């Protein structure tokens, strides 16, 4: 603990072979992660993938099953929670119900005997625009206000490492944007290290220096937001960060700087530099906003991938853009976003269209598309009984 003072700067966090098993359930398979000091690191992933568990391990509220945690180069794996230079904004807020808002915020400062705890607590409350409610009890605040108090209570301590577990989840869009900016400026001002957990991919991408996408207790991919978006490595990342059109097929030709993939007779070219694998059966993809819609077959060229003709099966207008769902025989359903600039064609449902994109916009993934389990892994009694009956009936029919 940085006794009696604020952290001068952020500390780096290193997780080495971290694993967490609950009785009968492995929440974290194996986590290796280095977060440089002073950076804003976002952990993104679906519900139940182990984000909160990771933060609890770092905060010292949960014991690790295996692996080590280093903060600022110091091994804190066996250090008690109150001795770690870490503060948490809890997903459930956990504001002390018997204390006023101001006492809640000053709690950590008082424990460390920092001068003028009250003044600093008021300042933190002003930051989240709640100073006028300082005398109230947490139960007298709305959910979003409680969340902001939780934020103030953690930030006021200026910890070397701040853990944020969906700290803005209960706020409306405008307030959320505003708090994002405040958070970012506090982080940059003092150079603290933020580990930010969120469901909101937009939030992760706009705020973080580095984003890690987590799935089923593992980190699938980690990198700068733009890199992650442009070059996803796995199907999960391609679909979790934004939307993707994915096609899988055999690599049929390898050129000096590109590969051609055969998708049931259609060729798709992907630059080698943008493909994680360049041979065998691979999955390639393209983002919906990179696609160009055409009512007539586009001119074939080496720079373009063309799919079509297909049929528009759904059109949905969302203000800035329009989303088209296009059914293309042998290829599948494709999602396309068209900016509503008044330039492109306007088509309705049932229209015959072609879809094309610049070769440079495609990407190749490292893993294979899970072709959807052909044999559903349903193991409940009803399904098993049904399968048994079908098998029996076909057997009898053959006889």
Partner 1 sequence: MAFSAFATATATEQAPRRASKVALLLLLPGIAYLMLFFLVPLFSLVITSLQAPAEFGDIGEFDNAFRWENYTTVIGQYSAQILRSFLYAVLATIFALLFSYPLAYFIGVRARPYPLLQKLILVMVIAPFFISFLLRTLAWKQILSDESPVVAGLKALSLLAPDAFLTGTPFAVVFGLTYNFIPFMTLPLYASLERLDTRYLEAGSDLYSTPFTTFRTVTIPLSMPGIVSGVLLTFIPAAGDYVNASREFLGGTGTTMIGNVIESNFLISLNYPAAASLSIILMAVILVLVTAYVKRSGTEDLL
Decide whether 27 or 152 has the Cβ nearer to ligand ATP. 27
Instruction: Choose from partner 1, ligand ATP, Mg ion, none: what does 59 bind? Cβ within 5-8 Å by kind.
Output: partner 1
DSSP 319: S
Q: Which stretch in 21-29, 126-134, 278-286, 290-298 sits in contact with ligand ATP by CB under 6 A? A: 21-29
CA gap 163, 155 in Å, rounded: 10
b (16+ CB within 10 A) / e for 286-325: bbbbbbbbbeeeeeeeeeebbbbbbebeebeeeeebbbbb
Q: Which stretch in 45-53, 87-95, 224-232, 267-275 sits in contact with partner 1 by CB under 8 A? A: 87-95
Residue in 73, 98, 374, 375 binding partner 1, rule: CB under 8 A: 98
Decide whether 22 or 82 has the Cβ nearer to ligand ATP. 22
Residue in 5, 8, 17, 22 binding ligand ATP, rule: CB under 6 A: 22
Of residues 45-64, which lie at the interface with ligand ATP (CB under 6 A)? Answer: 45, 47-53
Instruction: Choose from Mg ion, ligand ATP, partner 1, none: what does 48 bind? Cβ within 5-8 Å by kind.
Output: ligand ATP
Instruction: Choose from partner 1, Mg ion, ligand ATP, none: what does 81 bind? Cβ within 5-8 Å by kind.
Output: partner 1
> Which residue ranges make up the site for Mg ion (CB under 5 A)?
52, 91
Decide whether 92 or 333 has the Cβ nearer to partner 1. 92
Three-class SS of residue 134? coil
User: In terms of Cα–Cα distance, which of 303, 68, 36 is closest to 187?
Assistant: 36
Decide whether 49 or 307 has the Cβ nearer to Mg ion. 49
The terminus-to-terminus CA distance of the chain in angstroms comes to: 78
CA gap 263, 332 in Å, rounded: 10
Of residues 101-160, which lie at the interface with partner 1 (CB under 8 A)? Answer: 107-108, 111-112, 153, 157
User: In terms of Cα–Cα distance, which of 32, 28, 114 is closest to 69?
Assistant: 32
CA gap 239, 191 in Å, rounded: 33
């Amino acid at each position: 603990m940085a006794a009696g003072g604020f952290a001068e700067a952020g500390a780096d966090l290193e997780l080495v072979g971290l694993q967490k098993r609950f009785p009968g359930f492995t929440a974290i398979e194996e986590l290796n992660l280095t977060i440089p000091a002073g950076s804003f690191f976002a952990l993104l992933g679906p519900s139940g993938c182990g984000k909160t568990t990771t933060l609890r391990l770092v905060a010292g509220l949960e014991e690790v099953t295996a692996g080590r945690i280093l903060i600022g180069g110091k091994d804190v794996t066996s250090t008690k929670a109150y001795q770690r230079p870490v503060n948490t904004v809890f997903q459930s807020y956990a504001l002390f119900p018997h204390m006023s808002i101001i006492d809640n915020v000053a709690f950590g400062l008082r424990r460390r005997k920092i001068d003028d705890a009250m003044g600093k607590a008021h300042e933190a409350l002003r930051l989240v625009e709640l100073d006028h409610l300082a005398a109230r009890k947490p139960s007298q605040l709305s959910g979003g206000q409680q969340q902001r108090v939780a934020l103030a209570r953690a930030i006021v301590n200026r910890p070397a490492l701040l853990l944020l577990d969906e700290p803005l989840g209960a706020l409306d869009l405008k307030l959320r944007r505003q708090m994002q900016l405040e958070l970012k400026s506090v982080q940059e001002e003092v150079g603290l290290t933020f580990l930010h957990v969120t469901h909101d991919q937009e939030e992760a991408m706009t705020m973080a220096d580095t984003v890690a996408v987590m799935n089923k207790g593992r980190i699938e991919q980690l990198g700068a937001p733009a890199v992650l978006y442009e070059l996803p490595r796995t199907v999960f990342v391609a679909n979790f960060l934004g939307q993707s059109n994915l096609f899988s097929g055999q690599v049929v030709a390898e050129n000096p700087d590109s590969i051609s993939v055969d998708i049931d007779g259609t060729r798709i070219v992907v630059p080698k530099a943008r493909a994680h694998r360049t041979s065998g059966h691979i999955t390639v993809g393209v983002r919906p906003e990179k696609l160009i819609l055409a009512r007539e077959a586009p001119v074939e060229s080496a720079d373009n991938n063309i799919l079509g003709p297909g049929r528009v099966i759904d059109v949905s207008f969302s203000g800035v853009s329009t989303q088209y769902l296009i059914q293309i025989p042998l290829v599948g359903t494709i999602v396309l976003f068209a900016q509503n600039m008044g330039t492109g064609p306007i088509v309705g449902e049932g229209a015959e269209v072609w879809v094309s994109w610049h070769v440079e916009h495609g990407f190749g993934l490292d893993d294979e598309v899970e072709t959807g389990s052909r044999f559903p892994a349903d193991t409940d009694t009803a399904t098993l009984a049904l399968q048994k009956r079908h098998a029996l009936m076909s057997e009898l029919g053959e006889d």
